[in-house]
Amino acid sequence: MKTHSTTILTVRSGGVVAMGGDGQVTVGDSIMKADSTKIRRLIDDKILVGFAGASADAFALLERFETKLKDFPANVPRAATELAKEWRTDRALRRLEALMAVVDARHTLLLTGNGDVIQPTDGLLGIGSGGSYALAAARALVAHSNLDAARIVRVALEIAAEIDVYTNTNIIVEELACET
């Protein structure tokens, strides 16, 4: 049975990075939970991590990532790269079905089980079943509005929820100040 469990969006604008996610967890064609929290603050609230995919897989990766952050406390890209290498090469980890979005004051990163660590040029990142819809909405809002990063995330996720059946409007948005 295929599990769909989220839309996560990250927007970096106006000296702030905001990450938001919806609360819906779906198994097959049934909504199992409407108020899940898929964004976590790590390392003294300096890092936000959002995850999409199988929940248990995401939590396993989250724990491993937190360990990598402790190994490389001042270097989020290095911790992400080390996790991605382990994720790709470890026999058990490579079966995990999840994506992770990671942000800190300087970086926005996408981590995948293929060993990818990608930093989007524009600081915008959408993952999960409604990620493309939310990302398109966010790009339009950044270009054609004066909304702050958190409001862009919320509005874009609301738009995605109108299109993607695996995304709901129970939205949580977290923010961090960016380095200038």
pLDDT band of 155, cuts 50, 70, 90 = very high
Which domains, ranges and CATH numbers included, belong to the chain? Answer: 3-174 (3.60.20.10)
Which of 40-49, 94-103, 144-153, 166-175 comes out lowest in average pLDDT? 94-103
Q: What is the mean pLDDT of residues 54-74?
A: 87
Q: What are phi and psi of 16, to 5 degrees?
A: -135, 145
Tell me: the pLDDT tens digits for 92-136? Answer: 777 777 889 999 999 999 998 788 899 999 999 999 999 999 999
∠ CA 94-95-99 to the nearest 5 degrees? 75
How far is the C-alpha of 130 from the C-alpha of 166, rounded, in Å? 7
Show the tokens assigned to 138: 């966010």
Tell me: the pLDDT tens digits for 4-40? Answer: 568 999 999 999 999 999 999 888 888 889 998 999 9
How far is the C-alpha of 41 from the C-alpha of 11, rounded, in Å? 16
What is the reported pLDDT for 12? 96
How far is the C-alpha of 164 from the C-alpha of 6, rounded, in Å? 10
What is the reported pLDDT for 160? 97
DSSP letter for 72, please.
S
What is the reported pLDDT for 25? 86
The reported pTM is 0.93
What is the reported pLDDT for 28? 80
Cα maximum dimension of the chain: 47
What is the reported pLDDT for 3? 46
Task: Answer yes or no: is pLDDT of 2 > 70.
Answer: no
- Residue 6 a catalytic site member: yes
What is the reported pLDDT for 117? 95
What is the reported pLDDT for 180? 62
